[in-house]
Structure 1
């Protein structure tokens, strides 16, 4: 059986288990698939959930793009300069060991409610995984490639664009995968703690009022949106820029 067909078998398997378990409880405590589907239709008609999804995706895209740009710039400098890399090492170790969500309360105090603290959490969550992979990619660039470019007159920014950037893309894509997963989870958690909109806020609010169907709907959306973005963005990105490195 093909991998594609095997993947689709997971969906009915989960639905069967979910239906069997939910049948043991009242629907207001643990709703079944039909209850959640009805809630999804109701929320779609209201349009409120759609707005929360758009807000979360907007925050994710802005924060992740800013984080990736900064990680690429800092990573290239760190890979090119041993002294700068040594300076960064303890900072990277410290921030890597600190959960991104630990910063959320402070960021909310400093920046208030809204998009700013959520985007900051995303940047903190995704910056270091991407940075580490960019530095590793820089460390694996053959010295012969750099010398060849320098012999042709490439210096500073030309080295960065024509040598460093193409060489580090495969490693950076791996960091982007890891950073995306961490930042998506961190964003939802931050919205649950101090957001006034977004999927995390939607789940937390409905949990407070005891709407289990909406809570389950929000949880399912977190996973489905992650799968959607993986197939729509991350996999094509890997195929376009990094698949050649795997083949080689």
Structure 2
């Protein structure tokens, strides 16, 4: 009897509204279950890049056609791309790229270690925050090329001079990224961690660091950008021995007024930057998926 009364008390849904709700449910389920094939996913990832490259080449050619500079000063894509391909087929070119990338990896790795240690210490100490917080930001905004006179005096023309500037360019951004991530850790998470018995190092290791990871990854990405820029400046200024790097090749092409080669090396530098940016993008998307923040 009570069951019959309950059914009578339930409001009746308008048939038109019921049909609309059913349609929305079917649409939502269809969107959740539909998955694009591998070819479609690859194309969706590549077409924005292909479009951007095509637009850039057209804009470049349009500037050449405008007659702003003579073609021997500013050659078009038709003159530069064959030179670019010719450089790609030389073993000496890839040796130069390998040396530049090795310097970048070593310098960035040192920057991560130093930046993480400094950021972790400063973020957990009010005294250190007041003493060094503004200094870290000041170092981050300081142009990396300004360090080279001091670097050359300290390390002379050597690998150390280049790595010194790369670390000083990247480590402050990494430290600031970690500090910002710790600062924006939700208070409710900290309270929950303390209720669960987390204190001191365990609180920092199991709660604060994971919570600050998105901002820390952003700091790593910015740190890489500063490291790469500092490295390119260093290879142009610090030339020693018979070492050949991308910066040395770029400088030599400029001295020979070989504009196609200059632009070719610049394209390589740009491509390396784009590839590293894509790697950071993969890491960021994986992190957001892990946190349930990925948007469809």
Between 1:233-242 and 1:145-154, the stretch displaced more is 145-154
Contact 1:72-1:131 at 8 Å conserved across structures: yes
Q: Does 1:192 align with 2:236?
A: yes
2: CA distance, partners of 1:154 / 1:180: 33
Looking at both structures, which has the greater relative contact order when contacts are Cα pairs under 8 Å and sequence separation is at least 6?
1
Q: Secondary structure at the match of 2:208?
A: helix
Between 1:193-202 and 1:220-229, the stretch displaced more is 193-202
Partner of 1:159: 203
Partner of 1:222: 269
Gaps of 5+ in 1: none
Q: Does 1:117 align with 2:161?
A: yes
Distance verdict in 2 for CA 1:149–1:83, change over 3 Å: same
- Among 129, 134, 154, the residue aligned to 1:85: 129
Give the RMSD, CA atoms, in angstroms. 2.5
Deviation, structure 1 residue 169: 0.6
1: CA distance, partners of 2:90 / 2:276: 24
Gaps of 5+ in 2: 1-43
Distance verdict in 2 for CA 1:246–1:103, change over 3 Å: farther
1: CA distance, partners of 2:102 / 2:287: 24
What whole-Å deviation, never above 9, does each CA across 1:131-185 have from its counterpart, x for those lacking one? 1121111112234434544455544432332122101111111112222222212
Distance verdict in 2 for CA 1:8–1:41, change over 3 Å: closer
- Among 232, 235, 245, the residue aligned to 2:281: 235
What whole-Å deviation, never above 9, does each CA across 1:33-73 have from its counterpart, x for those lacking one? 23222222332333222112111111111111221222222
2: CA distance, partners of 1:235 / 1:97: 24
- Among 172, 179, 185, the residue aligned to 2:216: 172
Q: Does 1:59 align with 2:99?
A: no
* Length, aligned pairs only: 246
Name the TM-score, length of structure 2 as normaliser: 0.74
Contact 2:108-2:167 at 8 Å conserved across structures: yes
Partner of 2:113: 69
Partner of 2:51: 9
Deviation, structure 1 residue 234: 0.6
Larger radius of gyration: 2
Q: Which has the higher helix share?
A: 1
Q: Secondary structure at the match of 1:195?
A: coil
Distance verdict in 2 for CA 1:6–1:235, change over 3 Å: closer
Name the TM-score, length of structure 1 as normaliser: 0.87
